[in-house]
Structure 1
Amino acid sequence: MSDKVNEGLWAWKQSENNNRMIELQAGADAVGEVRLGYFGGSAFRITTPAGLTLMIDPWRNPPWGTWNWYLCDFPEVEVDIGLSTHAHFDHDALHRLRASTLLDRLIGRFEFADATITGIADKHVSDASHADVDWAGLTRKLTPLETLPPNNWRSFDNTIYVIETGGLRILHWGDNRPDPGPGVWDQIGQIDVALLPIDGSKHILGYDQVAALRAKIGAKIVVPHHYFIWNVTHRASTLTTPNEWMESQTNSQWADSGEVALPRDWVKSQDGLALCFGENVCFEPPQFGAAKDSTELA
């Protein structure tokens, strides 16, 4: 009999347990503020006022092993709930989490403690002709993988998440196409905080697409993700920084750490704020020596 000890999920080997979930399901007081932490890539940790923690889109390097996208492994973070928007390596590393509940590509509604999560089924962007590198076109030319709906492979499905907690509606776009199918916009509704894939290479969304999306959902705050960080992301990713987009915004703010508080009244008072974590993440990335200007590496 072959050794299968390392196959599949590994929760059975984790020393943590679900005690916090038992406490939360009994009705914990929602007395804190919503907090948003950034882990590079498209990975965010949302902490609700009651203390429930959700990690969206933890990442890993390509499993085929011929090249790397990241310079390190995703930290083995303990959270209550782990979520993934789609089945790409830079979004699907739920196995890296020490989580009580895993929601992989959730479609539908999940309610627990002081959070409601709605997963809306749509499709990954498959037209990258606006980007510096037309990776979608190259994928179709160089591999058998079909990216175009309706006959796309599973990895080009995408779930858009809307998380409601603390009086806020937070959207995680994943890598969704800019023109979702019928009914998706109605399910999304108006959004307070939009987590959108924005970088200078326009890998997922072009700047015009970001502007149209932002206007459609009425986002009070837009937070970029899916961008290059010099000591987290490999140059082979072809991603660049969000600096160019941030500099084009009339109302912008750079976070000074990897986590920020999102008080409800403050968020509601914002009018199109661009809030970016830049190089700040919620873990210790590798140190390769200080660059004179790390933005030059992008």
Structure 2
Amino acid sequence: MTRVATVCLLLLCVLAAPFAAAPAQAQADRCPKLVARSPFLAPRAPLTLPAAYPGAREVSLTYVGHSTFLIETAGGVSVVTDYNDYVRPATVPRVATMNRAHSTHYSLNPDPGIEHVLKGWREDREAARYDLEVGDLWIGNLPTNIRDWEGGTIRNGNSIFIFRAADLCIAHLGHLHHTLTQEDLGALGRIDVVLAPVDGSYTLDVDGMVEVLKALEAPVVIPMHYFNRGTLERFLQRFASSKYVIERSASPTLVLSRETLPLTPTVMVLPGN
């Protein structure tokens, strides 16, 4: 009986193994889990700013201003974040993402040449969901809540958009108003580059944003949405006590690759606000 019981137990373990592995595999299939690594696992070269247009394993990121970035892949796909009528790049992108907070984060009249206009919210307050591939770019999102002008809550009024290209995951936090839960962090996984609003008032307060960034553990943080230099410096002073180093670029454009992610987690300040 003992031998039979042992055989049965082994058979049960073998049959159960695929089901036990399924959740881990499902997580691994998500963009960040699949392509990103912890910034503390292996040494990396210092962050560089190559002058050449990105190669097959590189992505170009340009800070246009406020919370708007132009992301360009080696395959020629372009996306503009928080596309609006006030701050726009000269080029018409193939993809535009928007958030609901106010009119500097969305447009009611986007350029008709844009192939994909992705709103980070739905009018019925249900969660907007995206799983979109455009050439060599993949786009997903995590819905979050925002405050209204009376202090109430607009459910799913913001989206953290995630862009994957060249084995890099770039997260744009949008108009984030609250810290992230463990469930949120699990859905996002590991992020290589995070574009973070650091105004400390209209979005999340400085301590809350620092908490979010430390939880994400991205090798590169790029501040945005800070209105003036004083606001930016207040965030940088608060963040200076963390394990991140602070670098400032004279160029609004950063060319990124997995090979050039920094050895030490870095806040990269690009010109503009």
State whether TM-score is above 0.5. yes
Matched, 1:228 2:250: no
> TM-score, structure 2 length as denominator?
0.67
Task: Find the aligned partners of 1:95 and 1:77 in 2 and give their Cα distance.
Answer: 16
Matched, 1:266 2:265: no
Q: RMSD across aligned C-alpha pairs, in angstroms?
A: 2.7
Alignment of 1:40-59 (within 5 A): 40-59=65-84
Task: Find the aligned partners of 1:32 and 1:179 in 2 and give their Cα distance.
Answer: 32
> TM-score, structure 1 length as denominator?
0.62
Q: After superposition, what is the alpha-carbon deviation per residue over 1:2-48, rounded to whole angstroms, capped at 9, x for unaligned?
A: xxxxxxxxxxxxxxxxxxxxxxxxxxxx7252111111110011111
Q: Which residue of 2 aligns with 1:288?
A: none
Q: Which residue of 2 aligns with 1:84?
A: 98
Q: Kindly indicate whether the alpha-carbon contact (under 8 Å) linking 2:64 and 2:272 is maintained by their aligned counterparts in 1.
A: no
Q: Which residue of 2 aligns with 1:177?
A: 177
Q: Which residue of 1 aligns with 2:142?
A: 120
Q: Which residue of 1 aligns with 2:119?
A: 104
Matched, 1:256 2:250: yes
Q: Which residue of 2 aligns with 1:168?
A: 168
Q: Kindly indicate whether the alpha-carbon contact (under 8 Å) linking 2:168 and 2:257 is maintained by their aligned counterparts in 1.
A: no
Task: Find the aligned partners of 1:53 and 1:212 in 2 and give their Cα distance.
Answer: 31
Alignment of 1:189-200 (within 5 A): 189-199=189-199
Cα distance 1:87–1:107, how it changes in 2: closer, same or farther (>3 A)? farther
Q: Kindly indicate whether the alpha-carbon contact (under 8 Å) linking 1:48 and 1:165 is maintained by their aligned counterparts in 2.
A: yes
Task: Find the aligned partners of 1:220 and 1:75 in 2 and give their Cα distance.
Answer: 26
Matched, 1:38 2:63: yes
Q: Which amino acid is 1:101 matched to?
A: H
Moved more, 83-92 or 219-228: 83-92
Q: Which amino acid is 2:221 matched to?
A: V
Point out the structure with max Rg over C-alpha.
2
Number of residue pairs matched?
208
Q: Which segments of 5 or more consecutive residues in structure 1 lack a partner in the other structure?
A: 1-29, 62-72, 127-135, 141-146, 231-239, 281-298
Moved more, 205-214 or 253-262: 205-214
Q: Which amino acid is 1:228 matched to?
A: F
Q: Kindly indicate whether the alpha-carbon contact (under 8 Å) linking 2:145 and 2:178 is maintained by their aligned counterparts in 1.
A: no
Q: Kindly indicate whether the alpha-carbon contact (under 8 Å) linking 1:229 and 1:279 is maintained by their aligned counterparts in 2.
A: no
Q: Which segments of 5 or more consecutive residues in structure 2 lack a partner in the other structure?
A: 1-54, 121-127
Alignment of 1:196-211 (within 5 A): 196-199=196-199, 201-211=200-210
